Amino acid sequence: MRSFLFSSILLTAVGCSAYDPDLGSIPYKCGMTDPKCPDGYACTNNGTEDVCVAKTGITPDSGMMGGFQCADDSLLEGSSRNDSITNAYATPVAQQRNDISFAGVAICPMGDKDNYLIVTTVANSNIEVITSWDSGDPVSVSILNAGGTSINNGTASGENMLRAFAANVPVGQYYAQAYAAATTKNNYRISIKVTQ
């Protein structure tokens, strides 16, 4: 009996510690009072509830959220994410190639915005950006100028497809922004093309 009791205490002591600083990267619910999350974690709304996520490392907009399976777009999101023009994903369009397409990207959680940097190198270039999705609510698209102001919003261009087009733009920085209604989560594809 004494041996069993000692073994049980030893297993408890060696097991998971409440003070372990590495709690993993899988989100879990925030506490009700401050601090709502342990050190190194931030309380963030995932579209349905407040969850603690690690401040370091990649926290992609993916996974199961409110019954919807979001695509894992962590390769484009990166550690700084592409939710604002400041952290936009830098595309090679117009500098190294004429066009590029990405599949398996997501507007997740609700309210997410994905931004893609386009740097034109020839005056009077044309920028075309198309978003498409298989089903569900639309994924809108806009072309923004260097200051983040929309210069053209997408319009319907076939079933489950929106197209934004800006003609004869000067040399400079532009952004393709994919977004959706405040209550929408959806997976999508985006195509960005620059022509002269």
31-82 pLDDT per residue, tens:
888 888 777 777 776 555 677 766 554 444 666 667 788 888 887 887 778 9
Mean pLDDT, the chain, integer: 82
Q: How many domains does the chain have?
A: 2
62 found inside a domain: no
Strand bridging mode 89-90 / 114-120: parallel
39 found inside a domain: yes
Residue 118 has pLDDT above 60, yes or no: yes
Q: Are residues 95 and 167 in the same domain?
A: yes
Burial of 138 (0-12, 13-18, 19+ CB in 10 A): buried
Which domain covers residue 90, as residue numbers? 69-195
33 found inside a domain: yes
122 found inside a domain: yes
> How many helices (DSSP H) and strands (DSSP E) are in the chain?
2, 15
27-43 pLDDT per residue, tens:
667 788 888 877 777 77
Q: Are residues 52 and 80 in the same domain?
A: no
Mean pLDDT value across residues 144-163: 96
Q: What band does 106 get if pLDDT is binned at 50, 70 and 90?
A: very high
